[in-house]
Structure 1
């Protein structure tokens, strides 16, 4: 039985891709939730509104 060059099987690659997609989805969700705070609160906690807006809208999905 042949294996792929990275040494990982199909199911391991599929789970890895699914986990990466969920991490990106969670990052967008958290960025959107943080954007509800005012600028002073964001700055006090070390966040930049422009960076959060970019992260919240970064989507490779068409919907």
Structure 2
């Protein structure tokens, strides 16, 4: 059962990263005042978007 558990975990992790990129892109199009009301900042969005991927 370990193979299927690992495969499911890898798929779920990949989908989470994809969702995070989508949300980060949508938030980056908002103005600074709206971001501030959500408790986010441009610097935080830049930090979150600069994740490295292994090829």
**TM-score bracket relative to the smaller structure:** 0.7 to 0.9
Bigger relative contact order (CA 8 A; separation at least 6): 1
Q: Which runs of 5+ in 1 are unaligned?
A: 1-7
Task: Compare the two structures and name the one with the higher helix fraction.
Answer: 2
TM superposition outliers: structure 1 runs of 4+ over 4 Å: none
Q: Which runs of 5+ in 2 are unaligned?
A: none
The RMSD of aligned alpha carbons is 1.7
Give the total of aligned pairs: 55
Deviations 1:13-36 (A, max 9, x none): 111011011101110110110010
- The structure having more radius of gyration, on CA atoms, is 1
